[in-house]
Amino acid sequence: MELFDHVFMQRALIEAVLIGGICAVIGVYVVLNGLSFIGAGISHSTFAGVALGLMVGIDPLWTALLFSTLVALSIGAVSERTNLKHDTSVGIFFAATMALGVMLIGLMDDYYVDVFSYLFGNILALTATDIWVSAIMAALVLGIVILLFKEFLALSFDAEVAAVMGLPVRKLHYLLLVLIAVTVVLSVKSVGVVLVSALIVTPAAAAFQLTVNFRRMMLLSVLFGIGSALSGLLISYYIDIPSGAGIVLIATVLFFLAWLLSPRRKRHAQP
Amino acid sequence: MNTDLSANTGGTDPKNAITFSNVTVHYDQLPALENISFSIPEGSFWGIIGPNGSGKSTLVKTALGLLTPSRGTVRTLGREPAALGSLRASIGYVPQYADLDFSFPLQVIDVVAMGLYGEIGLFHRVTRAHRKRAEEALRRVNMEEFADRQISALSGGQRQRVLIARALVIDPVLLILDEPTAALDPGSAEGLYGWINDLHDRNDMTLILVTHDVGVVSQYVDSIACLNRTLVAHGRPKDVLSGESLEQMYGCGAVLFGHGDVPHMVVKHGGDR
Ligand SMILES: Nc1ncnc2c1ncn2[C@@H]1O[C@H](COP(=O)(O)OP(=O)(O)O)[C@@H](O)[C@H]1O
Ligand SMILES: [Mg+2]
């Protein structure tokens, strides 16, 4: 296909596999730990980071990474140290970082195009450096998940017993939040601040509908994630829409199909 | 000092598996336990009873180091719970069933093998030998043919046995079960109590059972501790369940129901949550 003769298209393909895969892997832990809203909070917090980067003139990726990591750790710390529930502290950070981002954007004159692509993603406009950075970050996240496979599993299923066994559950929890932050940042150029948390949650949620086996859930989630990212990429190529929207809409369609076919749902529906 | 120590340790200088000294535990500002002092000797079988919200789970979580007392000291296997270190590999804990999500995509054998994660250590993988031990633990709870089942497909009683197998896989010297019969009907519950009692008889372990069923449990346990934020009464069942202690038992929510030689009691399911 001559479509793939374009360099930007080759890059987009590699990126789609990278982000579709890594978001889906992290998504499994996000879904099983009930961290979906935290994921949304972390991803929106990158907006302020992006705005700061555009304003100061450094690659927004790094300022976004700084912001999202700080917010991930803060959400963890605030819900640990106060009697606020997770969703309350997320709600506060969510709004505060968006407000900060909007304020910074308001201080600039002519960055609206850039801001738009960071909000909704543009997988067709990546540089070679973008791909390398994504690949390195994805490898890092995947490596940690593989190294700590059983620890994250125990944390997700039964954190209390994991703690009694002496696993460092607090550190693991914070590490998981940071991994979510890194995953968000590496995907943000392609999927956008607003939609990246959907690419994390939706494929894993679809996989959860279809299996009761952890490894199979991981595998299905990755298939759905990469499938959504590739199809979304083609959609945004043929009809000129932001890639994040195409990717997330495909993922959502997959989710509903999975939900319709779900043995879990059928079992649930029976009295 | 407890006077009933010699009852179950054969008279030799007894050591304590757990000692609470003036322990108070708060959630935020509210005390869930106040000024608790008693000891659980090594090798004994204790029942912890009290109505819902009386602090039973809080007590065992404090002993396990999951919660830190705001006052007083706890010694578990001779150490501060936060400093248990390698002794953690000798402690089995079966948390309250309701706290777990059984829609989680896991097989029975994986859940049981999780009991070994602490021992296996960070970064290392579960090996064939570990799986063998998990299978062995499943045999001990008569669930060996369920190894490859999904936990979501099990009945309440089977799930409970899987959690017990996960706690047994390390051959604990201290085993703590938090309301293991909550998901069971009364008949199965009685069966499980008998089975737990056999487990204690066959193994050299300290067993702590948190429960509502005073009547049934008092047949098996060496001692009971009756909680209602404070320690209402503790000691041998026949002492606690007679005379003035019996009146105190009302304070921890117990009511007599039925009759016979042994007072048959049940703890009211309080709605104070
Ligand atoms: N995580 C928590 N945060 C705040 N209060 C709690 C928490 N866990 C328990 N409590 C409160 O502490 C008291 C004792 O709870 P618990 O130890 O679970 O009682 P039991 O196990 O006897 O039912 C109850 O009033 C309960 O509402
Ligand atoms: Mg309880």
Residue by residue, pLDDT tens for chain B (273 residues) are 444 443 443 444 469 999 999 999 999 889 999 999 999 999 999 999 988 889 999 999 999 999 999 999 999 999 999 999 999 999 999 999 877 889 999 999 999 999 999 999 899 999 999 999 999 999 988 899 999 999 999 988 899 999 999 999 999 999 999 999 887 777 778 888 888 888 888 888 999 999 877 777 788 899 999 998 999 888 888 877 765 666 666 666 655 443 344 445 555 554 443
Looking at residue B3, what DSSP letter applies?
Answer: T
Beta-bridge mates of residue B227: B231
Is B126 in CB contact (< 8 Å) with chain A? yes
Please report, for residues A149, B18, B205, the alpha-carbon distance to residue B66 in angstroms, rounded to integers and kept in the order given. 23, 15, 21
What torsion do the CA atoms of A181, A182, A187, A188 make, to the nearest 10 degrees? 60
B234 three-state secondary structure = strand
B chain contacts of residue A160, beta-carbon cutoff 8 Å: 61, 66, 93, 95, 99
Token output for B161: 């046995």
Please judge whether B89 and A160 are an interchain contact, meaning their C-beta atoms are less than 8 angstroms apart. no
Say how far apart CA A51 and CA A112 lie, in whole Å: 10
Question: Helix, strand, coil: what percent of chain A each, to 5?
Answer: 85, 0, 15
Token output for A24: 């889906």
* Segments of chain A with pLDDT less than 70: 1, 83, 111-113, 265-271
Comparing alpha-carbon positions, the chain A residue that sits nearest to B153 is A212
pLDDT of residue B198: 86
For ligand 1, residues with CB inside 6 Å are: B 27, 32, 50, 52-58, 273
Which H or E run contains B71?
Answer: strand B71-76
HEC per residue, B121-188: CCCCCCCHHHHHHHHHHHHHCCCHHHCCCEHHHCCHHHHHHHHHHHHHCCCCCEEEEECCCCCCCHHH
Domains plus CATH for chain B?
Answer: 3-267 (3.40.50.300)
Backbone angles phi, psi at B256, to 5 degrees: -75, 140
pLDDT of residue A269: 52
- What distance in angstroms lies between residue A107's CA and the mean position of ligand 2's atoms? 54
Comparing alpha-carbon positions, the chain B residue that sits nearest to A80 is B28
Closest residue by CA, ligand 1 atom 16: B55
The one-letter code for the residue type at A86 is H
Say how far apart CA A126 and CA B140 lie, in whole Å: 58
b/e map of B91-111 (b: 16 or more CB within 10 Å)? Answer: bbbbbbbeebebebbbbbbbb
Which member of B28, B88, B95 has the closest CB to residue A165? Answer: B88
pLDDT of residue B265: 52
Domains plus CATH for chain A?
Answer: 2-263 (1.10.3470.10)
A166: left (phi over 0), alpha (psi -120 to 50) or beta: left
Residues counted in chain A: 271
Best mutation site among B25, B48, B49, B54 for ligand 1, i.e. most ligand atoms within 8 A of its Cβ? B54
The one-letter code for the residue type at A227 is G
Say how far apart CA B116 and CA B114 lie, in whole Å: 5
Which member of A147, A164, A214 has the closest CB to residue B88? Answer: A164
Say how far apart CA A257 and CA B183 lie, in whole Å: 34
A203 three-state secondary structure = helix
What is the distance, to the nearest Å, from the Cα of residue B42 to the centroid of all Cα atoms in its chain? 14
A chain contacts of residue B126, beta-carbon cutoff 8 Å: 150
Say how far apart CA A72 and CA B46 lie, in whole Å: 43
pLDDT of residue A270: 46
Residue carrying the six token digits 């372990």: B205
What is the ipTM metric for this complex?
0.88
pLDDT of residue B3: 43
